[in-house]
Amino acid sequence: MDQNFSLMAQSRANYYTAGSPVQFVRVELLKGDATGEVAVCLTFKNVGTEPMTGLVIHFKCKDPAGQVLCEDDFYYEDLNVAPGGLFGTDDAVYVSDTPVSSVEIEQDRAFLNGRGVDLRGYKRVRLQTPRMLPGPIAKQLQSRTGNTGLIAVPQDTDQGWFCACGAFHPNEENAQTCSECGGDRAFVKAALTSILEEARQAAEQQQREISAVAGVAAPPPAAPAPTRSYAPPPPVDEPTRAIPAEENNPELERVRQYSRKAMLYDDVDDEDEEGTQMFDSADDMDDDTDELDAPKPRASRKQRGRYADDEAESDDDVVAERIIRWAPPITAIVCAVIIAVALIYHFVIAA
């Protein structure tokens, strides 16, 4: 019974066979509309220089648990694939009622113009995963090239080149046009370069506009606070008092009666004054101002008090003199008595 199959999943080969005229491209899982069965289809590419008429492979299908569901050989016959052509998409190598998780492929033999070529001696080389384009960039590239399959970054490697559709083209293929999406290698790269340059310029312009707006909106930087230095105020000179002349100056004579000689004035000739005198009361002085201007002789003045500069001794002076005279010997005697008592206690009583 014929039935239609819809694509369930597909995966590109993560390796290529260096030097081989045949490259494994991808695996697809197709689901039948009527029975729900899963068909496993493999796609290969002729990368050689001669038409391919047949291919023998060995495959192994596994379930999600890693258990082998089917392991067998499959023979693609009656082919006529030109260099760069794809084949195997419409041929199911295995149909299963259970889900298939992975498929392993080993190439056995290829037939080029009826001539058999052993493929088991070619080494597999692991490929890096293609890098996907950002969504907006991919849409611009698809719009500019008219190719809706461009979703990856085109890049060159030591083994070959990746198309923007994700297909890998080994150096053995020697092709400049993608055999899967039909995209021209140079044109796709130039279109993507132009799109990226435009995006860069737009980003720089946007950054300049943001900087300009930020510069206008930002307040001006605050001026640094002035540095204040403290300088002590200059010394203030004492006001100079005007001193009246000595000649015929009754006020000068009045001040001299209460001031030490030559302390305020240059009265070096008056050697009879012996110091400042303190009077107990104003009764000892005549209230007449004229008498102050002409002071009485020293012997006629009554001088009293502890601080009087006269020769008479007061009762306080006698007591003070006795204390000064007898204090040292009395102190020495007391100290000697204390030491003696301590020695007696130490050597007699304590023992």
Residue range 279-298: average pLDDT?
44
Q: Report pLDDT for 334.
A: 65
> Which of 44 and 266 is assigned the larger pLDDT?
44
Residue 142 Ramachandran class (φ > 0 left, ψ -120 to 50 alpha, else beta): alpha
- Report residue 176 as tokens: 């400049």
What would the pLDDT profile of 2-41 be if each residue is shown by its tens digit?
668 788 888 888 898 999 999 999 999 998 888 888 899 9
* Chain mean pLDDT for the chain: 76
Q: Report pLDDT for 347.
A: 52
Q: Report pLDDT for 218.
A: 61
Rounded-to-integer distance, Cα 38 and Cα 100, Å: 8
- Report residue 134 as tokens: 């950002």
> Which of 253 and 300 is assigned the larger pLDDT?
253
Q: Report pLDDT for 313.
A: 53
Residue range 280-297: average pLDDT?
44
Residue 199 within a domain: yes
Are 21 and 109 contained in the same domain?
Answer: yes
Are 1 and 61 contained in the same domain?
Answer: yes
Give the distance, in angstroms, between the CA of residue 324 and the centroid of all CA atoms in the same chain.
Answer: 82
Q: Count Cβ atoms below 10 Å from residue 305 Cβ, excluding itself.
A: 14
User: Residue 272: is its pLDDT beyond 70?
Assistant: no
Residue range 121-126: average pLDDT?
91
Tell me if the pTM is above 0.75.
no
Q: Report pLDDT for 220.
A: 66
Last residue of a domain, one of 196, 212, 228: 212
Give me the torsion for CA of 165, 170, 173, 174, rounded to 10°: 90
At 273, the amino acid letter reads E
Are 4 and 103 contained in the same domain?
Answer: yes
At 276, the amino acid letter reads T
User: Residue 270: is its pLDDT beyond 50?
Assistant: no
User: Residue 275: is its pLDDT beyond 50?
Assistant: no
Q: Report pLDDT for 191.
A: 93
- Report residue 197 as tokens: 């340059």
What would the pLDDT profile of 323-350 be if each residue is shown by its tens digit?
666 667 677 776 766 776 565 555 544 5
Are 145 and 48 contained in the same domain?
Answer: no
> Which of 107 and 36 is assigned the larger pLDDT?
107
* Domain tally, the chain: 2
Domain holding 153, by residue range, is 130-212
Residue 53 within a domain: yes
Are 44 and 155 contained in the same domain?
Answer: no
User: Residue 111: is its pLDDT beyond 60?
Assistant: yes
User: Residue 276: is its pLDDT beyond 60?
Assistant: no
Last residue of a domain, one of 153, 185, 212: 212
What would the pLDDT profile of 188-221 be if each residue is shown by its tens digit?
999 999 999 998 898 888 888 888 887 776 666 6
Are 70 and 123 contained in the same domain?
Answer: yes
What would the pLDDT profile of 299-309 be if each residue is shown by its tens digit?
444 444 444 44
> Which of 35 and 49 is assigned the larger pLDDT?
49
Rounded-to-integer distance, Cα 26 and Cα 8, Å: 14
Last residue of a domain, one of 212, 232, 253: 212
Residue 20 within a domain: yes
What would the pLDDT profile of 136-188 be if each residue is shown by its tens digit?
999 999 999 999 999 999 999 888 999 999 999 998 888 899 988 999 999 99
